[in-house]
Amino acid sequence: MKNTDSDDVMVYRLGSGCDLADIEEGNIYQGKVQGFANFGMFVQINDRIKGLVHKTNMKAEHKERDSILVRVRQIRPNGNIDLEEVQIQVYQVTNVERKSTTVRISDLSGKVGRTVAIEGEIAQVKQTSGPTIFTIVDETGTQNAAAFIEAGVRAYPEAELGNMVKVIGEVMMRNGQLQIEVDALTILNDEEATAVRVRIEKALDLRAEPAEIPLLVKSDVMEKLCPEMRKVAKIIRKAIFTSQPIILRHHADADGICSAVAIEQAVVALIKESGGDFDADYFLFKRAPSKAPFYEIEDITRDLDFALKDHARYGQKMPLVLLTDNGSTEEDEPAYKIASVYDIDFVVIDHHHPDGTIDKYLKAHVNPYHVGGDFGITAGMLGTEVARLINPKVESIIRHLPAVAGVGDRSEAPERALFLDLVRDQYPEAACKDIALALDYEQFWLRFNDGREIVKDILNITGNTARHQKLVSLLVDGANTMIEDQMNACMPHVVPRVLRNEAHLFLIDVEIHAHKFTFPPPGKTSGEVHDRLCKQNAGQPVVTIGFGPDFAVLRSRGVLMNIPRMVRELRNEIPGGGISGGGHLVVGSIKFVEGMRDVVLEALISKIADAQIQK
């Protein structure tokens, strides 16, 4: 471009991310005077590139930081740039962006040391004491991009969570992980953003689709649940691929733990495969036990507190919440209502009797009652099948968990035997019972902690079988010692009654006739008492009620009760009773105000007496 007198003269403004490859000999560029030497002056064309205007090619006097127009005379083999000053009154300016190839995130491993461009959605913005880390998601993966202005200062403050952006930078290895060193980050305009979003959504929808794999065992009920299990798995996979945090809540018993740990293994492995920070599995996934078999106000309060803090502090999305072995009953509804204020998505994998009012809060709901099954198909069985759909690679380390869940939850469904047969060579029924008891015992001491690594050893997820066996043996010995001690205290105080339907009812006040604040807790204490009474009354219908000042725990064998319905009826029939509760049809709990205990218990016993006896 030699003509400097025409209105058509083009002057180029070099973008901050451009380097030597983006400059062409003969073109005119905007620049700033950087400094002087005896032989000329140095001109900065952008933050990365400067050249020399020899004193013979200077047209005027200048001082540092003056704006100037320069033509590139020559780019030498060593990278030095020879410039000459030009003076133009009328010209057009065009921006030059760094030459880069737009690539998919999944292809970055082959681009180390090269400058590339990626397009995607900002899934997280994390300000460190150094650079700003943007987590970018496209249809193929997740990638961190580090942008540095100065230490601790937010780069590109206009770029927010959810924006569709184009990032240009060099692909580097940092601490053994890929990272893009950002040269430029631009927010796509509406048209560009829509096109990229549609492309990503379409590809993610296909990518998130679970593989077509058969169930571990033959089960008509679970076969009918497959479409909904696939739906849950797809939602979870999509959350992983878009760097949406996942909170997994589960009932704190063997069944709930098995269900949750199976899913945990699938999710964590897939998060690691999908890129991101080396510890992404810790801040993008959280497993938390729930003391009650439903999602309590306390649970949602804790989860919201953490989620909102992470959203504010680390720029994370609001989480997907997965509930397993809870989430299906009206007792969960108050927590759902609070969560709905923040538009939190829920999916549920449960085997408690569902209430029809719940599904409006859920994106998906796996429950055997929806297809004619019952609680015998345990959450551990369902969760393991969903985990296999999320990530089939983890099957070998979780395939025994349904058997542990089945014996731990005292399932009488035919699926229990099928899952036991599947792993009997390595985990016979007695071993599964020991593992289930060890889980219950350890979780009691863990309280609200997930005990991720300890639980993995109890379930032999880590593959250290010697340590697993030693740990389970020690925990079982400790649990059985404490159970026997509790039973020695309780059994002499059991009060028997025979009801008009000929059911044998047994009552035990676990508040005054059991050790408090230790293992086994009131619910399991009542279950252990019930197991002994069933053996003593073989062939007879047996109902056990363990009660305290404001609660009762029910266990039944051979009496066809419907505990959730009984709770609803009692709530209407006893004003001032403060009644709530639920559970399975024949295993559950009920709460009430202390002053109405005798009234509620007698009304409850009356309903049990009206129940049919299983023939």
Q: How would you label 200-210 residue by residue, b for 16+ Cβ within 10 Å and e otherwise? A: beeebeebbeb
Taking residues 487-499, what's their average pLDDT? 97
Taking residues 259-288, what's their average pLDDT? 85
Residues 6 or more apart whose CB falls under 8 angstroms from that of 483 comprise 519, 520, 528
Check pLDDT > 50 for residue 3.
no
pLDDT at 441: 97
Residue 18 — pLDDT band, cuts 50, 70, 90? Answer: confident
* Burial class of 241 by CB neighbour count within 10 A (0 to 12, 13 to 18, 19+): buried
Range with lowest mean pLDDT among 13-17, 160-164, 470-474:
13-17
Range with lowest mean pLDDT among 93-102, 328-337, 444-453:
93-102
CA–CA gap between residue 454 and residue 38 (Å, rounded): 72
Cα 541 to Cα 409, 533, 536: the distances in Å are 20, 10, 11
Structural domains for the chain: 10-96 (2.40.50.140), 101-201 (2.40.50.140), 209-473 (3.90.1640.30), 494-613 (3.10.310)
Closest residue by Cα to residue 161 from 124, 198, 120, 118: 124
Range with lowest mean pLDDT among 47-51, 367-371, 606-610:
47-51
Could you tell me the sign of the dihedral formed by the alpha carbons of 548, 584, 456, 440, in that order?
positive
Kindly report the pTM of this predicted structure. 0.81
* C-beta atoms surrounding 480 within 10 Å: 13
* Burial class of 73 by CB neighbour count within 10 A (0 to 12, 13 to 18, 19+): middle
Q: Provide the percentage of residues in the chain whose pLDDT is more than 90.
A: 80
Residue 568 — pLDDT band, cuts 50, 70, 90? Answer: very high
Check pLDDT > 80 for residue 65.
yes
pLDDT at 14: 87
Q: Quick check: 597 and 550 in contact, CB under 8 A?
A: yes
Range with lowest mean pLDDT among 27-31, 535-539, 585-589:
585-589
Taking residues 294-304, what's their average pLDDT? 94
Check pLDDT > 90 for residue 79.
no
Range with lowest mean pLDDT among 279-288, 431-440, 550-559, 595-604:
279-288
Q: Provide the percentage of residues in the chain whose pLDDT is more than 70.
A: 97
Residues 6 or more apart whose CB falls under 8 angstroms from that of 572 comprise none
Closest residue by Cα to residue 329 from 359, 297, 370: 359
Q: Quick check: 349 and 295 in contact, CB under 8 A?
A: no
More confident residue, 48 or 499: 499
Check pLDDT > 90 for residue 470.
yes
CA–CA gap between residue 615 and residue 610 (Å, rounded): 15
Mean pLDDT of all residues belonging to the chain: 93
Cα 35 to Cα 32, 42, 60, 62: the distances in Å are 9, 5, 15, 10
For the chain, helix (H) and strand (E) counts, in that order, are: 16, 26
Which residue has tokens 């619910």?
523
Residue 87 — pLDDT band, cuts 50, 70, 90? Answer: very high
At 383-429, the pLDDT tens digits run 999 999 999 999 999 999 999 999 999 999 999 999 999 999 999 99
